[in-house]
Structures are given as C-alpha cells and as structure tokens.
Structure 1
Amino acid sequence: MRNLVFIFCLVLVGCSKSDSNSNNSSDQNDNTFEDTGISIYADDDPTNDVLMQVFWWDSFNDLKISNYDSYYHYINSLVVELSNANIDLLWFPPVSEGEGMGYHPRKLYDFNSLHGTEAQLESLLFNLNAREMHAMADLVFNHRIGTATWTDFTEPSWSCESICIDDEGFTNPDAFGTTPCGEEDEGWSWGGARDLNHQSEEVQEGLKTYLTHLKNLGFDSWRYDYVKGFPAKYVGEYNAFTSYYYSVGEFWDGNVNLIKAWVDQTGTTISGQTTNKAGAFDFALKYKLHDAFVDKNYNILNQDHSLANIPGYGSKSVTFLDNHDTGCVNRDDCDNLYSTDINNILKGYTYLLTHPGIPMVWIYHYLYSDPAGTLKNDINDLIEIRKENGINANSVVDIIETIDGNSGYYLAQIDNKILVKIGEGSFQPDNDWELIKSRPGINIWKK
C-alpha cells in the first residue's frame, strides 16, 4: 500500500556476503529504519522525476561494495532507501557482457556481466518496479567488440556489413578477423571498438531485438551512449520501435544550441516519420554551474546557459553536476570535474533540485562524497522541497538578481512558489516568504 508505514529490518534483498560492519553508506546508519512504502510522489510523468545515476567508474569491483556478492546485489540493498528519498528513475551501467564497465559490449544478448548475473539483475528490476520506480538502461549502440578477434561478433552474430568500412578493423583483416564491408561511418569514430554501420538492416533489427530483451528484463527507459558517433535519426528510429518511459542521449558538448539541434533531430526516424524527441544531458549547464558556484561568476546564469532555459525544452534537459566520466573516481583521464568541495556540491544540487529540467543526482556524491552523511540528508531535503512544491522539468524561473564575487549571489524565484539564494552575499526577502532551508551560502524560502 502506498501509505503503509512499517519498520523494515534491512534484510538485504540483494544478499550481502556477510552481516559484519562495512564501509558501505547504507551501513553508516542503523540497519533498522522506517520504510515509508511507495513514494507518495510516484507517478508516470517523467517531468516530475528525480533521476539518479547509480554507478561510478569501476563500481562493480570497488572496495566500497566488497561486502556484496555483486554490484546488482549492492544496488538491491539500496532500493528501499532510494525509494524513501523519492528517487524516481535509476540509470544503470551497460548490462551486456563486455569489457569492464560494459562500454565495449561483446555479447549483446548475454546479460551476465561483471556487474552480476542476469538473475540478479532481474531480481533488482522486479523490486524497483514493485516500488513504482523506473530503470534506465545504458545503450552502447555506436560500437561493439569481437569475441576472439576484433570483428567476430557473437550473440548475436553479424556479418561484415555490420561494421563501417572505414573502421580500424579494415586495416589488417588477417590479424583482426572478418574484413569490415559496411558503409562509411556517418558520425565520429571510436578507436577502442568496431564502429557499427547503422545503415545495415542487420544492425537495426539486432538492436531493436536488444531493446525488446531489455524491456522483458524490466527496463523502461533508455540512455544512449556516445550519440555523436551516429546520426540522431537512428535514435528516433529505435525510440519509435518500442514504448518507453524516458530516453536521453549523451551529446557531450558545451554548446547549448548544438545540444538543442541534436534533440530536434531525434524527432524523425530514418524513414522521415515524426516521433517523440529524446532528451539530452545538459552539459552546457554543467559547465556554467562550475563558473557560477565554484568561480563565483554568478552573472553567467543570466545568459542562455541551459537547455532547460529554452521554452519547451525543460522536459528534454537532464541536468547534472558529474557522472561516471567526469567524476574522476577510479580513473585519471577526466578533466571536467565539477568540484570536490562539499559546499560547492550542495550549491550545485540546490540549483538542480529547485530549477527546471530533470535533475540527476550522482550516487557517488549522494553516498560517498561526505562521510558524515550531511550532504545526503541535504539532498533528501531538496528533493522533498521540489516534490512538495510541485517544481518540475517545465517550471518557470524569474531571476531576480545576480552579483559576482565572494560576497555575491544568485537569486531566483521559481513558479512563484519558492525563492532561492545561492552564494555568500546577504539578502532578506519581505515577510511574505518563510525560510525553509538554510546552509552556508544557501537559503530557500517558501511563499
């Protein structure tokens, strides 16, 4: 029952290796907590959602989850806690068998990976669906790797036409297996794997079958990886093939106009039919939030800095601070980190969770950036404020004032319901506003 409240003794649905104490965030608190049941805010409208990316780089073998049989068991142990926090949609890493994190998929139809077994994944997705939460699959559709050679695809087996003829695999077929014979690549190449020829019906039908498998497992949402690698019309084609809850693409670019153009192009299939447009991660906003809250250049938020700021595109903007690529966890090849300062991270989430767009919380920030757990509690408060006041992807922002510098701030009113100040500068609204959240450099008032 939606409003059923009972004491849930955390017998982990994804069984842990032992009952001993560990460094897991879920063990930082008392193992007995109140399960508030299905979120009272659960609905079938993604514009009201808060998304969480529930992995970080090499999370499958991180010592932080070493007490669990698998990454899937680890996430299963958090389902109740994330449901209690009113998280709606969870983004998972690639689930097919492949190298490491799965971003070089090998056997698309084999769902036993380094993250766990297919049975463990199905159990996890079943429990999410029972909480009326949604699961987003990471779709690596730009490229694949072979099983024994560079080009011998298995599960499913595809012909030489499935690989772009200008792929690296063409350079030495004796060493790399089957010589690619598909059309030339229509997008950016990826040197670490074989670039797929999306003009091939074999590839198109194989990927559509893959989507069907994912739906049967319990996924209902799509995250398209590396979408600069193939034209946006194919995203439109794959989206049109299957019903879905929400879809979003990784068009990694700081130019909001280019992001918008890609979103628009996903609204057409390869045959020219019109379909619903995909969303996009708002990289433009990510970079501007660093300029504003880390460098204290608050005036930059007066500009057209975000996909969510464009009328009609709030529901197409997934706003975020960091992810598995930019967060610099277990990797040293990233240079786009938002911040490691807890107060700056909280400022960023204060903006995301009170403004339009579909906000994404990164689980590493949520559970591990602040060992004391204060950041997690603050994010939970911000989610509650968002939900309680009906702030959503299409909310309207009225920027009242921006002042640069150490004594400056960003001040905005959202939907004529809440007033948000981010920055150390002093401001006091009139008596029509009641202070509901205050942290260093952060104030939120409710009308």
Structure 2
Amino acid sequence: MSAKKLLALLFVLAVLVGVAVIPARVGIAPVSAGATSRPSLEEGGVIMQAFYWDVPAGGIWWDTIRSKIPDWASAGISAIWIPPASKGMSGAYSMGYDPYDFFDLGEYYQKGTVETRFGSKQELINMINTAHSYGIKVIADIVINHRAGGDLEWNPFTNSYTWTDFSKVASGKYTANYLDFHPNEVKCCDEGTFGGFPDIAHEKSWDQYWLWASQKSYAAYLRSIGIDAWRFDYVKGYGAWVVKDWLKWWALAVGEYWDTNVDALLNWAYSSGAKVFDFPLYYKMDEAFDNKNIPALVSALQNGQTVVSRDPFKAVTFVANHDTDIIWNKYPAYAFILTYEGQPVIFYRDYEEWLNKDRLKNLIWIHNNLAGGSTSIVYYDNDELIFVRNGYGNKPGLITYINLGSSKVGRWVYVPKFAGSCIHEYTGNLGGWVDKYVGSNGWVYLEAPAHDPAKGQYGYSVWSYCGVG
C-alpha cells in the first residue's frame, strides 16, 4: 500500500473513531468551540462593535447587548466595543459623541432625562458584569476632544459669549469654564476641532486630573465599573501624547485616526502606544472586492500601503462601522480580515441583521483556531486571491482562497508549508466534507466556490491541516 493510501485510510479511521472532531456540520468548522479556544483581546481576539448609529432609543441598548453576550461568547468573540456611555447634550437621543457630563452614566436627571439613550448606570454595570462572566472584555468609546451642552458665558479670549460654562453638571465632577477650552491663556488651539463644539485644552492640569490623571478621573470611574480597554474617538483632534499618558495609567487602546496615509497612522500609533484602525486597508478592500480589483489590494499589501502590512500588531481591521459602510461585497471582506493578519472587528448589524450569522461564526472559529503567523500571497488576479498563513504557536496556519467570480474556480498552487499533508476545507462552502493531499513537492489543486450569496455561494474556501477542531 502506498504512503498516500495509508495516510488516507488512517484519516478515515480517525474520523470514524472520533479523533478528527468537526461536529457542527459536515465540512464546516465547529461554531461552538470559540468559547473555550478564543484568544484574549490582548492576543488579537475578535472584537464585536456592539452598536451602530442611532440604535433604538428608550434606554434599552445596554440590556440588548447583555442579551447577545451568551451567543457572542459561544461564537468566539473576545471583546465588545460599546458606545460612549456618558450623558450627552442631546440627552435621551444622544449617541454619546456630544459629551456633557462625563460622570453621568445614566443616574442624574439632566438634559431632560435620567437614563442615557442606552439605559441606566446599573444596566450598564449589569451588562459589563455579564460580559466578564463569559470571559469577554469591554472596550469603552472615549470622546475627549470636545464637550457639548454647556451654558453661555463671556469669554475674554474670543471677545464673545461661548457655550463653555459646565459648572452645573449634575454629578458635580469635572466642572469647567472657558479656561478649559481653546483658545485660552496657554495657547490658541491644538491639533483640531470637531463640529464647532468647545475644544478641550488637554494641556491644563485640571482637565488632565478629571479625564485620566488621577484616581478620581473619568478613566478611573470607568475602570471602577469594569471597563477593560479604550477606543479613542477623533484622535486627530489632540496630541498623541494624551493617549500615551492615559495608557501609562489605564491599559490598552485603539484610536480612530481617519486617514489613508499609513505613515501618519503609524506615527500616531507609535507616539501614542495604541493600536489604530486600518483605514487604508478598508478603502483598498472596497476597491478590491466591490470593483474586482484585487491587484490594487495586493499592491498595497506588498508595498506597505496599509497598517497591517507594515505592522500587523498595530492594525485593527474592519469591514464596516457606525460611521462608514461603503463595502457592499462583505463576505470576501470578512473572509479576508478574519484569516489575514491584524485584529479584526465585526460590525453589529452585519452579524445580527445583514449577513449569514453562521458564515461569520465559522470565520471567527477559523480566526481563533487556525489563523496564525506571517502571510505569503501565492496567487492573485482581478477575481481571485490565494494566500497562506504560516502558523504560529497553537495556530497551525491556513490557506485562504477568495473568488469574486460567478463560477467555481480551481488552481494548482505551491504551498510548501503543507507539503505531504492532508488538508481540510473548513468553511463547507464547497459542499460537504472536502479533503486534499498536498504533494511532497508542495503542490496541490485547490478550489473556491462561485460568489453569489443570494444562492448560498460565498466565494471563498479556507484550508488547513486535517483534524483541527
């Protein structure tokens, strides 16, 4: 009996006795294994953006998130990113990006309401505690470029009345006046303003004390209720030193530096000590997957025009968020970010409303269990992309084959990492259980299904060693 036939027989016997465990569906990686195998947030685990713009008002959102947590934990989510929790100028209608009283998380009557749009402080704490009970960390959205909703006062630096009187905040904490905003006696301005709102002067010791640099600060307050990490909004508006100093006190973070200049993003990331959303990759994925221009994406990856290609440990990758949702061909985009390098984010509405949840659960499992190590691109054209993850630690690596065409495709590819091995297709997109044997010379014929989600054809396949699961 040849070695190849012997290997095939041994593999079949292993399946029959239950050694190769892939129980959820024939040919599909288990979607319930994530709860025990998911990496931590710090190790690059998958983040769920747990909101979208204008989520339902009425104080129900913290409870809504809480109800989703068991499923998200089962799916393998490592952390959730929640919206800004403080009382905003718009009261019960605020999405939190117009912060008025940083220390009102839904417990004081002001701006026409006690609860925030999302609920009460206690409901927020209950949600955080539930997340922690399932091993999920909570990332708070931090809006500290500006404040909103203050009263009018005379401002000698502008020679006019400005909305900079925050002496009446119901919490009684972090009161402020015109001296706490630009222009002031220190300087006229900083890196940027937003929406005409009063621009916080982060160089003032009073503002630092109340925002992050003390045990009575806003950051300390959020930590006291269980917040684990931070997502900083509009970091173009103030110096990277602010986030760097914040992180000396309070754990890890990611910043929203909305720009396609990868040098600017990495300069900010290295100066702040935080990770950064990979906006250059986001726009290249739109070009590649919506316009069948995969060479543009590959060129950007090979020439260091994305954060993930320059420093994957600084890159947070995404397909959509509450501010921007331009990629309509989302399945190949999620297949890409969940099998490529970088730390991926899943958008709430994609997971809960718009896409096939089982497809995303499957990709999360693949990310958590297979997708490790450096990347080698082995083939691409306008419609097709094939790359190998070379494995690291307990993640053995994988081969991703993305096909944007309307017909099933196949190619011989050289994947020396898997030479002489049995490899299994872990998405089920090819229909049932599919194994291949990579030649000792490293060559194998791989296939990817047609891309037509309306017909249940998802246009990608993912391969790794047989028996992982």
Q: Same fold (TM over 0.5)?
A: yes
Report the Cα offset of residue 423 of structure 1.
Answer: 1.8
Please say if residues 292 and 404 of structure 2, whose CA atoms lie closer than 8 Å, have aligned partners that are also in contact: no
User: Is the counterpart of residue 200 in structure 1 residue 204 in structure 2?
Assistant: yes
Unaligned runs of 5+ in 2: 1-30, 107-115, 153-162, 392-396, 414-420, 430-456
Distance 1:70 1:181 in 2: 43
Alignment partner of 1:40: what SS?
helix
- The correspondence of residues 1-400 of structure 1 with structure 2, limited to 5 A, is 39-42=35-38, 44=40, 46-61=42-57, 70-98=60-88, 99=90, 100-112=94-106, 113-149=116-152, 150-153=163-166, 154=169, 155-165=173-183, 181=185, 183-208=187-212, 209-242=217-250, 244=251, 246-266=252-272, 277-303=273-299, 304-310=304-310, 313-327=311-325, 337-339=326-328, 344-370=329-355, 375-389=356-370, 391-392=371-372, 395-400=373-378
TM-score by length of 1: 0.76
Distance 1:36 1:293 in 2: 29
Please say if residues 260 and 280 of structure 2, whose CA atoms lie closer than 8 Å, have aligned partners that are also in contact: yes
Percent identity, please.
Answer: 27
Please say if residues 421 and 443 of structure 1, whose CA atoms lie closer than 8 Å, have aligned partners that are also in contact: yes
Distance change (3 Å), C-alpha of 1:138 and 1:440: closer
Q: Which residue of 2 aligns with 1:446?
A: 464
Please say if residues 42 and 133 of structure 1, whose CA atoms lie closer than 8 Å, have aligned partners that are also in contact: no
Distance change (3 Å), C-alpha of 1:263 and 1:191: same
User: Is the counterpart of residue 412 in structure 1 residue 380 in structure 2?
Assistant: no
Distance 1:37 1:411 in 2: 26
Report the Cα offset of residue 36 of structure 1.
Answer: 6.6
Distance change (3 Å), C-alpha of 1:54 and 1:202: same
Alignment partner of 2:36: what SS?
coil
TM-score by length of 2: 0.72
Instruction: Read off the aligned partner of 2:294 and give its amino acid letter.
Output: Y
Please say if residues 79 and 128 of structure 1, whose CA atoms lie closer than 8 Å, have aligned partners that are also in contact: yes
| Deviation per residue, 1:181-200 (Å, 9 max, x gap) | 55222111113311001111
| Deviation per residue, 1:134-168 (Å, 9 max, x gap) | 00001101000134341111342023221011xxx
Instruction: Read off the aligned partner of 2:120 and give its amino acid letter.
Output: T
| Deviation per residue, 1:307-358 (Å, 9 max, x gap) | 1111xx212111001100013xxxxxxxxx121xxxx211100001001100
Report the Cα offset of residue 121 of structure 1.
Answer: 0.2
After superposition, the CA RMSD in angstroms is 2.0
Instruction: Please identify runs of 4+ aligned residues in structure 1 that moved more than 4 A.
Output: 35-38, 42-45, 429-432
Distance 2:119 2:425 in 1: 45
| Deviation per residue, 1:59-85 (Å, 9 max, x gap) | 142xxxx8xx61111111111011111
The worse-fitting range, judged by mean Cα deviation, of 431-440 and 118-127 is 431-440
| Deviation per residue, 1:28-56 (Å, 9 max, x gap) | xxxxxxx9799212554522300010100
User: Is the counterpart of residue 421 in structure 1 residue 401 in structure 2?
Assistant: yes
Question: How many aligned positions are there?
Answer: 356
Report the Cα offset of residue 435 of structure 1.
Answer: 2.1
Distance change (3 Å), C-alpha of 1:199 and 1:48: closer
- Structure with more relative contact order (C-alpha pairs < 8 Å, separation 6 or more): 2
Distance 2:340 2:34 in 1: 25
The worse-fitting range, judged by mean Cα deviation, of 436-445 and 409-418 is 436-445
Distance change (3 Å), C-alpha of 1:58 and 1:192: farther
The structure with the largest alpha-carbon Rg is 2
Alignment partner of 2:37: what SS?
coil
Please say if residues 72 and 116 of structure 1, whose CA atoms lie closer than 8 Å, have aligned partners that are also in contact: yes
Distance 2:305 2:105 in 1: 39
Alignment partner of 1:138: what SS?
strand
Please say if residues 160 and 181 of structure 1, whose CA atoms lie closer than 8 Å, have aligned partners that are also in contact: no
